[in-house]
Each structure stands twice: as structure tokens, then as C-alpha cells.
Chain A
Amino acid sequence: MRSSLGHPLTRALRFKRWVLVTMGFVTLFALVSSRAFAAVDPLPFKDHAQELRFQALTKQLRCLVCQNESLNDSAAPLAADLRRDVFEQMQAGKSDIEIKAWLTARYSDFVLYDPPLRGGTWLLWFGPLLILLGGGAGVFLIVRRRARAAAMPSAVPMGARPGSDVEDDW
């Protein structure tokens, strides 16, 4: 009885462990290979500072093909072309702002991860702040109303009451 019941259970457990280990290996492999395939085209940078500037700039730019990747790590052919263009413009002495303008003239703000602040994007930038302010105002009103309600029933003036009474309502 015991062995007939125990056997399939251990098998199930072993299978479960096997699945977990396999999944682990697959994930590890995917991580390692995505690192390995990440685009690295050797570019003849003037110095280390320019390379750092290039890396920083291309990380702020979106690949138009694989849109969840930055221009810095996308392996799409278009991304490689755009990296080359960014590099050439850097060599020509263009500033980051000029390079970004060059790209947005062709691909719109879509190419930037940070949308610029302008008429159409103010809600995007300040929306969260508005929601925070609205929530804060709501909490403030509720707390004040409760404090008043707690103060009302007893005719004792506010100043004479111990402060802890008001805090109880939290």
C-alpha cells in the first residue's frame, strides 16, 4: 500500500525538480546568449570619453525595429546603421542635442525614450504629480472632516481636548 502510493509521488517530485533545473538552465542560456548577441560593432573612437558619450547617448535612443531595445543594444540592421550615423556625426563634432534633432527630424519623438516637454506631453510629465496632489487633497479633506466630527459631539473646546483623541481616528 505504502510503496504503491509512495512511488508515483517521488516520481512526480523528481520530475518537478527536473523541470525546475531545465528551466533554470534555459533561462541562464538565454541570458548568456542575449549578452553575447548584443550588438557590438567595433567603432574607432577617438578616446575613452567619446566612447562613454556614445554609449550614454545611444542608450537614450530607441531602436525603431525592436522597439523595446535601445539603439545601444539592438542587433537590428537599422540600429547598426543608425549607430554608425550617430558615430559619424559625433566625429564631425555634432553635439548630443544636434544628433537627437537629426534623428527626430526623421523618426519623430518616437526615437527618444524621454519625451520632450511640450504642449502635447505636459499631461505625461505632470499627470502623476496631479494625481498625487489630488490624492493628497482627498486625504487631507477626509482627515480634517473626521477630526471635526470627532470634536463635535463633546462640547469641550478644541484646545482643551487632548490631541491623542484626534489621532485615534487615523
Chain B
Amino acid sequence: MNTRLLPFAGFVLVLALLGFGIWWSSHHDMREVPSPLIDKLAPTFSLPLLEDPSKFLGSKELAGEPYLLNVFASWCFACRDEHPVLMSEGKRIGIKLVGFDYKDEPADAKRWIAQYGNPYDVIVADVPGNVAIDFGVTGAPETFLVDAQGVIRYKYISPLTTEIIARELMPRIAALKKASP
């Protein structure tokens, strides 16, 4: 009797495995590349400003206070969805918002900013995309929260929403501010 039920038990086991697979993939983004840089020192970089390529800004200048690095580009459609959120929430997050123009034509980026508004405190341009690779950027938009010591505390892939900012970013920013006022 026991052995007669064995094939059925095997069938149920396979069914459970497949069901688990469906549940798992619907609760996890299988395409999302996990960042090994979380809680590690952000890469050292120095990039020209979008507005004035003769001036440079980098990890050295940004050290000392936490900042939010937002990777965007004029060619990125999702960034257009994210943009209004940054326009309304950017000033409220209470830390420096650094725009990271990724693999973009500076002229296009400037026009894009002129058209949709500038939510950033400062914008750096990574035209060849080398610094982005050091940050493990796979596309735009992506957002990094870096603390005063230059350590990456959090990374978010895909457009920020007011909900994500309130739920994921604000508590972490508050904690950073408490740690080093």
C-alpha cells in the first residue's frame, strides 16, 4: 500500500516544487543584479560637471556628509517617469542629491534638464561610463545612498517612487543623520 502511493507522493513533491518556483519568481525580480558594493566603500571617482566640464567633482569633495547619487540619462525613458518624483521629493530628503548623467551626450542631457527641470544639487557627467562600471551600474535609473564616510548603504534599481522614498530611503537617511549630525 505504501509503495502504491509512492508515485503519487512523487507527483505531489514535483507539484510543490513547481508551485514554489512560481511563488518565488513572482515575489522576486529574477533580473535584478544584486550589488556586492552594499556596505562597502564607494569607488573613488572624479567626474566633470555637466554644466562646466572644466570643473570636477568626486568622492573626495563629496566626503563628509551623506548624499544620494541618482543615475539618469536623457536616453532613459524610465528616468522620465522618475523625474517628477525627484522634482517634488528631492528637496525634502534633506541630503545632497547628486545627478549622475550616464553615457549621455552632454548637450542632450542639458536640454533634458532644461525641459523637465533640475532636481539635483549638482550633476556630474560620465560620458564613457567607466565610473558607472565601478559602481556596478547596469542601467538607468539607479540610486545609491552613500554615507558621510563614503560607504554605500543602499542601492535601488528602477525609478524611485514617493512610496519607495518614504519606505526605504527616509528611515535610512534619518539613521545616517543620527549617526553623524
A: which residues have CB within 8 A of B?
Answer: 64-65, 67, 77-78, 81-82, 85, 104-108, 110-111, 138, 142, 145
Query: What are 18 A-to-B residue pairs whose CB atoms are below 8 Å?
Result: A64-B138, A77-B103, A78-B138, A81-B128, A81-B129, A82-B133, A105-B36, A106-B36, A106-B134, A106-B135, A106-B136, A107-B36, A107-B138, A108-B33, A110-B33, A142-B3, A142-B6, A145-B3
Which B residues have a C-beta under 8 Å from some C-beta of A?
3, 6, 31, 33-37, 103, 128-130, 133-136, 138-139
**Assembly CA distance A142 to B7 (angstroms):** 12
Cβ contact within 8 Å between A107 and B33: yes
- Complex alpha-carbon distance, A138 and B134, angstroms: 51
Give B136's nearest chain A residue, CB to CB.
Answer: A106
A82–B138 Cα distance when bound, in Å, is 11
The answer to whether A110 and B34 have CB atoms under 8 Å apart is yes
Return the chain B residue nearest A138 by Cβ.
Answer: B6
| CB proximity of A69 to chain B, nearest CB, Å | 13
List of B residues within 8 angstroms of A67 by Cβ: 31
* A108 / chain B contacts, CB cutoff of 8 Å: 33-36, 136
Q: Contact: A107 with B136, CB < 8 Å?
A: yes
